[in-house]
Amino acid sequence: MNIHFPKLTKEQKVARAESLLGHFIGNGSIYLHKVIGYGSFGVVIHAYGPRNERTGRFKEYAVKCMCKLMSIKEHILAADEIRYHKEISGHPNILPYIEILQDDLWFYLVLEYCPGGDLFKEIVCKRTYYGDDALTKKVFVQILNAVEYCHSKSVYHRDLKPENCLVKDNGRTVLLMDFGLATNKKRCHEWGCGSRFYMAPEVYGVNREPYCAAAADVWALGVILVNLVTGRNPWHKAVEGDSVYDNFCRDPNALQNILPISPELNHLLRRIFVEPKLRPSIPEIRKDVLKIDRF
């Protein structure tokens, strides 16, 4: 007999996770404090660990709590997220994995706490990078480095966006996170996987053909670069029917007419926003980015 668990809404996930607040996990070493966010399959809770004897401060964690009352597919995806994050942890621009804990009802993915917030807020609310070409270059190269490292470990993120990058050092350091949609398959047929502003055309599955996961990540990196430089998205969806994207397909210089970008950046974006087999590699993108003085 198949057991079906209904899909929970964001509000239901938060309500269920809030029942954990005030409790200890990890043999009493970690105290679950407050909800600070949610991911693909769980809710993220700010937590306190043991006190540092030298500083007197309590260790802080971000704990992603994933309820075991999930479908088999969700269980597989949650297990993959834990495994992938553990495999690629250790890179300076990937949020550090600490450990995985569990009880009868929950998995607890314990990660380093990063109080600086996410890159989206840094771009949109604080406008940290607008007009600062040196800082934009520094941060984007960090993202390139993190994604390249993931690819070297056969981990393809598939949901690259500013919301999945945390910042510290006043926005000068970026940490890639949330591997809930990641895969180790080079070619995928899970169409519609990701966030619409950042999904490559082939990911929408109009032709129902498997797509290259690495090339899809490269497309998303191009959109993130536009975000950093302009604070805007190039289009709503990279599909036929989106007026801005349609205009770009007709005229590859169209973005330069509507966004405050330099000819050098426009040239790079024209190389990224093409069919998968023609997209540059991450080392090629890094090389071009480092040559650009003004975005």
The per-residue pLDDT for 207 is 80
Q: Is 64 annotated as a binding residue?
A: yes
In this structure, are 123 and 252 located in the same domain? Answer: yes
The reply to whether 201 falls in a domain is: yes
Tell me: do 104 and 144 sit in the same domain.
Answer: no
Are residues 171 and 202 part of one domain?
yes
200 lies in the same domain as 282 = yes
Tell whether 162 and 23 lie within a shared domain: no
Q: Residues 107, 123: one domain? A: no
Report residue 70's pLDDT band, with 50, 70 and 90 as the boundaries: confident
Same domain assignment for residues 125 and 262: yes
Reduce the DSSP state of residue 198 to 3 states and report it.
helix
How confident is residue 9, by pLDDT bands cut at 50, 70 and 90? low
> What is the phi/psi pair of residue 98, to 5°?
-100, -60
Host domain of residue 130: 119-291
Q: Are residues 105 and 129 in the same domain?
A: no
pLDDT at 8: 63
Q: Within this chain, do residues 132 and 253 fall inside the same structural domain, yes or no?
A: yes
Average pLDDT over residues 165-181: 96
Do 105 and 228 reside in the same domain of the chain?
no
Last residue of a domain, one of 91, 112, 133: 112
Residue 216 lies in a domain: yes
Whether residue 164 sits in one domain with residue 250: yes
- Residue 75: phi and psi, rounded to 5, are -60, -45
When comparing pLDDT for 206 and 84, which is higher?
Answer: 84
- DSSP category for residue 5: -
Q: Which residues are catalytic?
A: 159
Provide the residue count of the chain. 295
Would you say residue 5 lies in a domain?
Answer: no
Averaged pLDDT, 252-259: 94
Lowest mean pLDDT among 14-23, 247-256, 275-284: 14-23
Instruction: List phi, psi (to 5°) of 128.
Output: -65, -35
Asked whether residue 27 carries a pLDDT value surpassing 60, the answer given is: yes
Structural domain count of the chain: 2
- Among residues 112, 130, 158, the one where a domain terminates is 112
54 or 206: which leads in pLDDT: 54
Task: Tell me the two tokens of residue 218.
Answer: 């490269």
Average pLDDT over residues 266-290: 97
pTM as predicted:
0.93
Q: Is residue 5's pLDDT more than 70?
A: no
In a domain, 41, yes or no: yes
Give the separation between CA 171 and CA 282, rounded to whole angstroms: 22
The winner for highest mean pLDDT among 11-20, 34-43, 163-172 is 163-172
pLDDT tier for residue 1 given thresholds of 50, 70 and 90: very low
What's the pLDDT at 3? 47
**Looking at 77, 112, 147, which one is the last position of a domain?**
112
Average pLDDT score over residue span 246-272: 96
Q: For the residues 50-69, what does the mean pLDDT come to?
A: 92
Residue 266 falls inside a structural domain: yes
Residue 267 sits in a domain whose CATH number is 1.10.510.10
Range list of H helices, the chain: 10-18, 72-88, 119-124, 133-152, 213-230, 243-250, 254-258, 263-272, 282-291
* Burial of residue 76, with CB atoms counted within 10 A of its CB: 0-12 exposed, 13-18 middle, 19 or more buried: exposed
Is 289's pLDDT higher than 70?
A: yes
Report pLDDT for 206: 81
Residue 123 above 70 pLDDT? yes
169 shares its domain with 230: yes
DSSP single-letter state for residue 31? E
**4 lies in some domain:** no
Give the residue-averaged pLDDT of 253-268: 96
